[in-house]
Amino acid sequence: MSSLLPQLMLGLFNGACYALLSLGLAIIFGLLNVVNFAHGAFYMLGAFIGWGLLHYAGLGYWAALVIAPLVVGVLGVVLERTLLSRLYRLDPLYNLLLTFGLALILQGLFLAKFGSSGEIYDPPAALRGAWNLGFMILPIYRGWVMIVSVVVCLATWYVTERTKLGSYLRAATENAGLVQAFGINVPRMVTVTYGLGVALAAFAGVLAAPIFRVNPTMGDDMIIIVFAVVVIGGMGSIMGSIVTGFALGLVEGLTKVLYPPASSTVVFALMALVLLVRPAGLFGKAP
């Protein structure tokens, strides 16, 4: 069982990525009623921007952690204004297909330029090495990712649940027309929300870059699992998606130790189980 703790830590790290991504998906879905299929592609884009900044501009990890979400956020705002906003009146499936198309384009461009093997991105000097916690060795970088993602998740939760801006956001989720009638600029709020959601994905991408190889398909492996996370947690609650994200990462890590062949399917099996017992998801409102 000596491999248990490291695997659990890796699981928690994956869980941190799931939480950050499903959080962004949940916010976007809440307000826009759009399932953002391009979320995985923005995550990949964030990682590549981080790598590119180091490679071409000599800007390191800390700069990337700020610049990548900004760039992706702006791209998200532009895409929302020019493309997504045209389809709000139609069946939400059309926006799902639109974002799927965007994901294919982004992924294809990077595949054509970089191939599928991937690039290596080292963690910054300050975060290399490991702490000896006595009962296990914890690579500093993983500890850092865990702390940062918990902080970011809680901050997002705080903003949406405890601030005035968040109350507008939640109100618009319930009834956008009414909120607009009160003089709040809902379309702008929608645009900003989409930008923030995809910026979170890019942030997760930079965090993940030093652990996984930065490669064009890293997003689509991730997005399908995150969709399952979202189905399990239900998209109704912010806290729900955070908790589910971390919990599923942990379950995956545990399965890797106990029965490795099932580790890639366990999340989907859990999804099927949840659908049987609680079709609305663990934290979802009944339909």
Partner 1 sequence: MTARARPRRWRSEYTVFAVMTGALVVAPLVAYSGLLMTCMCMALFACAFNLLIGYVGLLSFGHAMFLGGAGYAAAHAAKVWELPPELAILFGTAVAAALGLVVGWLAIRRQGIYFAMITLGLAQMIYFVCSQAKFTHGEDAIQGVPRGVLFGVVDLANPAAMYGLVLVVFLVGFSIIYRVIHSPFGAVLTAIRENETRAVSLGYNTDHYKLIAFVISAALAGTAGATKALASQVASLTDVHWTMSGEVVLMTLIGGLGRFTGPVVGAFVVVCLEHYFAESSGWVNVAQGVVFVLCVLTFRQGMMGKLSAALRLPL
Closest CA to 237 of 144, 175, 134, 153: 153
Nearer to partner 1, 189 or 270 (CB): 270
CB of 83 to partner 1, least distance (A): 7
Asked if residues 39 and 201 have their Cβ atoms less than 8 Å apart, the reply is: yes
Closest CA to 76 of 112, 115, 32, 119: 32
CB of 66 to partner 1, least distance (A): 29
Q: Long-range contacts made by residues 59-65, C-beta under 8 angstroms, separation at least 24?
A: 60/124, 61/123, 61/124, 61/127, 61/206, 61/210, 62/124, 64/206, 64/209, 65/203, 65/206, 65/207
Question: What binding mask, one character per residue, do residues 200-219 give for partner 1 by CB under 8 A, x or -?
Answer: ----------------x---
Q: By CB under 8 A, name the one of 66, 147, 154, 224 that touches partner 1.
A: 224
Phi, psi dihedrals of residue 216, rounded to the nearest 5°: -60, -25
Quickly tell me which residue has 């409102």 as its tokens.
285
Binding footprint of partner 1, residue count (CB under 8 A):
46
Question: What binding mask, one character per residue, do residues 265-284 give for partner 1 by CB under 8 A, x or -?
Answer: x-xxx-xx--xx--x-----
* C-beta neighbour count of 173 within 10 angstroms: 18
Does 89 sit near partner 1 (CB under 8 A)?
no
Which one of 3-11, 46-54, 101-109, 156-164 is the stretch in contact with partner 1 (CB under 8 A)? Answer: 101-109
180: tokens are 């607009």
Beta-bridge mates of residue 137: 132
Q: By CB under 8 A, name the one of 72, 103, 169, 189 that touches partner 1.
A: 103
Which one of 42-50, 89-97, 163-171, 250-258 is the stretch in contact with partner 1 (CB under 8 A)? Answer: 89-97
Binding residues for partner 1, rule: CB under 8 A, are 35, 83, 86-87, 90, 92-94, 96-98, 100-113, 116, 216, 220, 224-225, 227-228, 230-231, 261, 264-265, 267-269, 271-272, 275-276, 279, 287
